[in-house]
Amino acid sequence: MREHILALPEQLRTGVSLGASARVAKPFRTLISTGMGGSAVAGEMVSMVREGTVVHWDYDLPAGAGAADLVICTSWSGDTEETVSSYRAARKLGAETLVITSGGKLADMARADGSPLIGLPKQNAIPRANVGLMAGALFGALGLESLLPSSLDVAALEPEAKELAAALGSRMPVIYASYPWRKLTGFWKMCYSETAKRQVMVNWFPSGAHNEMVGWEGPYRDQVAFVLLRDPQDAPRYAKNFDALLALLGTKGYTVRTVGLTGNTVMEKVFTDYARALWTGYYAALGLGIDPVATELLDEFKRLKTQ
């Protein structure tokens, strides 16, 4: 998996090139991005820089979707049942569709329907390690590639992430961010849970400053470790929340690590932190003696659903 993490910058360049070949030309009312797991990340990233973007983590389409909308259907495998159902719902409505996939049912249906299709090179079967391809393709298709980082030093993040993984050990990570960066906590949850096979709890300020705070009175000191994602440009009111949490957790003896978001633009910070999450999950898995690629429980769950 290490080589796939290192390939993130090249994935972005390849994805943008593929996306430019299917540039969206027709005007649309709402951009609806559908996908699950790692295949939903590209849409989430777009929603951080483009207003009016709806990210749909469900079957079919959100209420109010109509023929004037553009529905993006992203699935690394092309066989994700929720995303397949979204594509069918969009076609039924008469909405414009764009499929981003490496193959499967979605590719077959898009070709049969004459729907725009961005075919991705299937180098491996790890969606979370191919976000660069999917994000590059989506940003490129929407003409937003200028918002992507022009350079990304993924290798430089490896030592820091390796140290963070060691500090977390076998504890359950609790990830906090400020509200503007809340989607990053979801990326960490996905990358770490699937790679290190450990549950992850996430929240953001100000939500995390209310009911949930009282729960840390419980006997969790040796069971969880906190990771605080802090942007140096966070508004002072968010900084006060982080500082208060640090003081509180210190009195309780919790393990806490602060991760500073780095970069000059939103997407530089997003992709740098995404790579950091991948690295941390990878080294956590190695430290725990776990295969970082295997997803046996998820595979069995999917098998049981088909019975």
3-state SS of the chain is CHHHHHCHHHHHHHHHHHHHCCCCCCCCCCEEEECCHHHHHHHHHHHCCCCCEEEECCCCCCCCCCCCCEEEEEECCCCCHHHHHHHHHHHHHCCEEEEEECCHHHHHHHHHHCCCEEECCCCCCCHHHHHHHHHHHHHHHCCCHHHCCCCCCCHHHHHHHHHHHHHHCCCEEEEEEEHHHHHHHHHHHHHHHHHHCCCCEEEEECHHHCHHHHHHHCCCCCCEEEEEEECCCCCHHHHHHHHHHHHHHHHHCCEEEEEECCCCCHHHHHHHHHHHHHHHHHHHHHHCCCCCCCCHHHHHHHHHHCC
pLDDT of residue 306: 83
Kindly compute the dihedral angle of the four CA atoms of residues 156, 161, 162, 166, in this order, to the nearest 10 degrees: 160
Q: What residue has token string 């996430």?
A: 202
Residue 107 CA to its chain's centroid (Å): 22
Amino acid code (one letter) for 299:
D
Cβ distance 185 to 48 under 8 Å?
no
pLDDT at residue 161 in the model: 97
Distances (CA, A) of 126 to 52, 132, 198, 232: 29, 12, 17, 32
Two structure tokens written together for 209? 């400053």
Q: Return the closest-CA partner of residue 276 out of 263, 293, 291, 295.
A: 263
Check residue 298 and give its pLDDT: 87
Distance (Å, rounded) from C-alpha 173 to C-alpha 141? 35
Alpha-carbon gap, residue 166 to 277, rounded angstroms: 14
Burial level of 245, CB count in 10 A (0-12/13-18/19+)? Answer: buried
Tens of pLDDT, residue by residue, the chain (307 residues): 899 999 999 999 999 999 998 999 889 999 999 999 999 999 999 999 999 899 999 999 999 999 999 999 999 999 999 999 999 999 999 999 999 999 999 999 999 999 999 999 987 778 889 999 999 999 999 999 999 998 899 999 999 999 999 999 999 999 999 999 999 999 999 999 999 999 999 999 999 999 999 999 999 999 999 999 999 999 999 999 999 999 999 999 999 999 999 999 999 999 999 999 999 999 999 999 999 988 888 889 888 988 7
Taking CA 243 as the corner, what is the angle to CA 239 and CA 249, rounded to the nearest 5 degrees? Answer: 145
pTM: 0.95
Beta carbons of 8 and 134 less than 8 angstroms apart: no
pLDDT value at residue 189: 97
Residue 142 has a pLDDT of 97
Q: What is the pLDDT of residue 1?
A: 87
- Do strands 172-178 and 224-230 pair parallel, antiparallel, or not at all (unpaired)? parallel
| 39 in Cβ contact with 74 (< 8 Å) | yes
The answer to whether residues 194 and 128 touch, using CB atoms and an 8 Å cutoff, is yes
